Amino acid sequence: MDQKNIKNFAIIAHIDHGKSTLADRIMEICGAIPEKHEEQILDSLELEREHGITIKLKAIRLNYQLSTPQSGSTINYQLNLLDTPGHVDFSYEVSRSLASVEGALLIVDATQGIQAQTLSNFNLAINAKLSIIPVINKIDMPSANIVKTTSELMDLGFKKDEIIKVSAKTGENVENLLSEIIEKIPPPKIISQKLSALIFDSSLDPYKGVIATVRLFGGCLKLGEEISFLATKAKGAILQVGYLTPQPHYIQELKEGEIGFIATNIKDLPQVRVGDTITHPKEIVEPLPGYREARPVVFLSFFPTDSSDFQKMKDAFEKLKLNDAALMYSAESSASLGQGLRVGFLGLLHAQITQERLEREYGLDIVVTSPSVNFIIDGKTINKPSEFSPSPHSKVREPYAKITIFAPQKYYGQINELIYKKRGEIRHFENIGASLKIEAVIPLLEILISFYDELKSQTSGFASFDFEVIGYRDAKLVKLDILVNYEPVEGLAQVIPVEKAEEFGRKLVEKLKEEIPRQNIPIAIQAVINFSKIKGGVGGKILARETIPAYRKDVTAKLYGGDITRKTKLLEKQKKGKKRMKKFGQIEIPQEAFLAVLKI
């Protein structure tokens, strides 16, 4: 196909602004799917449908015919559409998509207006030097405020006549949007005459090896030829070439400017990395630019409940990492939980989705510890609370984030109070239409736990926020240990500000009292700082304590009449048994107890 007739574009937006529904309508118009089909057909993962969000990007090739009234002829166009996630935790997927296209549709919900992730994605597209088409969606909704949303987009620098108004649900004006795509999105950039292909997504087939989704910036990929990978120096042979329509369609070759997939015949997963450049073995090319490396900001430990499942869990993470370049993990061990993995994520939703995939897709039963971030103690970086042990003279630093909040103007007071409560400070605010844009600096530790829920609660669900880590600052932090039955539980240890230790400790032990089931012995739950196990007892300052009462089995129920000494003997025996359990018994802590930290 003629290069000028290929249009590569991504759909970007805030979460739930209608990207996947718009993709459905575009595919219908192009004849790729029937009019009657399952909604959000590109959200094929079970978790995507349950959460109502896009998690994995999808690359779909469409054929579109446009008639020209002047000549009466029909021109065939190849549209390569990339549907991207909208949640802040998956913004790395968006950056991967934008490195592979020349244009983007910026979707804004007419009922909500510009939101935090709208602005974040807009900036990503600007930095990638893409042609951006602004689109107002959901114009059919009774609550749509098209005038306000148009004004907000004009504040971003768009002209009024550039903005396309559509209803992805009914299909209204989507045909005109396709005409705008063909007119405004430039043809593919060609960087090299030699084979130069960017890997921006991948998956694993047990028989064909790694399936790499690629964008060609030069040359072509032919069935059966040998290829090499610049970063890993690996070599493979192309077993299959094709593209999604959204069903797989197999062809003989992918040409420059096109997007598709190849089966690499490589089953060693680390050899094929997202962001790497594919070329021919004897050719010398420069690595392709534009790919942003993902940097995890929150860390959790994963342990299998059955220690024999550790290798199974590790293999599962290797497969997940293949199409999730943001996953970073390393082996660790715990005296109480056994062998596990320390895993880095882009946010708590990213961690939650990964945990659910491990449990559903790989049948694993796992224990996940409470989240933490990177801390710097005297120049050394750590992210495990168990390793947090600064001396009184140590210099401790914690990461700070710049957050951008969009909310109705009337909620400024509540948002200001919340930011102050979380040790943050507002740097700038401005009105954008009827909405308020607030920029603030806040410790990353504070926004990991409950910040989003509190923000939604304070603003009746209208606020949205985005964040990026901007650097480190000096901090006064302390390690809070949780003791259950007088033994520290490694997975519940927290690093928190000194001034919040007592309040947080009280709330946590109260929550744990609800989550840990009763046993045959009373269970003491304590929040302790400066904890150290010493011979003959426990050292440290106890900030809070709760006791889970014991079950009391009526051991005298079988007796009737007789001498009182018979009852006394049985009660004494029960007392000795409970004393032994206190000394040697182990308390099983359910996963809900570890999740209790996130609900405070």
pLDDT at 40: 55
User: Is 45 in contact with 139 (CB distance < 8 Å)?
Assistant: no
14, 86 in Cβ contact below 8 A?
A: yes
Please tell me the distance from the alpha carbon of residue 300 to that of residue 328, in angstroms, as a whole number.
11
Looking at this protein, which amino acid is placed at residue 465?
F
In the prediction, which pLDDT does 370 show? 79
Instruction: Annotate 155-172 with b (16+ C-beta within 10 A) or e (fewer).
Output: ebebeeeebbbbbbbebe
Provide the pLDDT for residue 185: 94
For every residue of 490-528, DSSP letters joined together read GGG-EEEEGGGHHHHHHHHHHHHHHHSPP-SS-EEEEEE
Cis peptide before 385 (omega within 30 of 0): no
- Per-residue buried b or exposed e for 86-104, using 16+ beta carbons within 10 Å of the residue's own CB: bbbbbbbbbbbbbbbbbbb
Rounded-to-integer distance, Cα 594 and Cα 590, Å: 7
pLDDT at 584: 36
Q: What is the pLDDT along the chain (600 residues), one digit of tens a residue?
A: 688 899 999 998 887 888 888 988 898 888 887 666 566 555 545 544 454 555 567 788 999 888 776 666 788 999 999 887 756 656 666 777 888 899 999 999 999 888 877 887 888 888 889 999 999 999 999 999 999 899 889 988 899 999 999 999 898 999 999 999 999 999 999 988 899 999 888 887 888 888 888 999 999 999 999 999 988 889 999 999 999 888 889 999 999 999 999 999 888 777 888 888 999 988 888 888 766 666 788 888 888 888 888 999 999 988 888 767 678 888 888 776 788 899 888 877 788 888 888 888 888 888 888 788 889 998 898 888 888 888 888 899 999 999 888 888 888 899 999 999 999 999 998 887 667 889 999 999 888 777 877 887 888 777 878 788 888 999 998 888 888 888 888 778 888 888 888 888 898 888 888 888 877 778 888 889 876 654 444 567 888 898 888 766 665 556 666 666 767 776 676 666 655 444 434 566 766 666 666 666
Q: Report which of 71, 152, 69 is spatially closest to residue 110, judged by C-alpha positions.
A: 152
pLDDT for the residue 585 = 42
The pLDDT score that the predictor gives to residue 69 is 65
> Domains in the chain, please, with CATH?
3-184 (3.40.50.300), 196-279 (2.40.30.10), 298-371 (3.30.70.870), 396-474 (3.30.70.240), 479-599 (3.30.70.2570)
Residue listed under structure tokens 């007796």: 559
pLDDT of residue 501: 87
CB-count burial class (<10 Å; 0-12, 13-18, 19+) for 47? middle
Helix (H) or strand (E) holding 544: strand 537-548
Q: Give the pLDDT score at 500.
A: 87
Cβ pair 11, 84 in contact under 8 A = yes
Residue 537's SS3 state is: strand
Three-state DSSP string of 457-491? HHCCCCCEEEEEEEEEEECCEEEEEEEECCEECHH
Q: How many CA atoms, within 13 angstroms, populate the side-chain half-sphere of residue 222? A: 6
